[in-house]
Amino acid sequence: MKKHLKRIKTNKTAEKILSKDLSDYIHSGNFKKTHFEFYPKNQTVTIRMSESLVKALKNRAKTKGIHYQKFIRQALEKAL
C-alpha cells in the first residue's frame, strides 16, 4: 500500500517517522526534483523592479516552496 508523507515540521516528528518501517512510503509520489547550490554566494547584485513583478516572483517562489531570491537565482541560471 502506497502512503504519502506529510510535510515534516520538527526534528521530533522526523525521528518518530524514521523509527518506523518506511517501505510503504518509497514511491515516486513522495519524491520531488530538487536543486543543490554548490557555489558560494559571494557577489551581491542590486536591481530595481516594479512592485508587481516582485509580488509575482514571491508568489511563484512560494508555490515552489523556496525563497524568492533563490527563485530568481535559479531562473537566471536556467536562462544562461
Task: Output the pTM of the full model.
Answer: 0.56
Write out pLDDT tens, residues 12-46. Answer: 988 988 888 888 778 777 777 777 778 888 999 99
- Running DSSP on this structure, what letter comes out for residue 78? H
Name the more confident of 78 and 36: 78
Name the more confident of 7 and 15: 15
Mean predicted lDDT score pLDDT of the chain = 87
Q: Which pLDDT does position 1 carry in this prediction?
A: 64
The whole-angstrom separation of Cα 43 and Cα 37 is: 14
- Contact (Cβ atoms closer than 8 angstroms) between residue 70 and residue 61: yes
Q: Which pLDDT does position 41 carry in this prediction?
A: 87
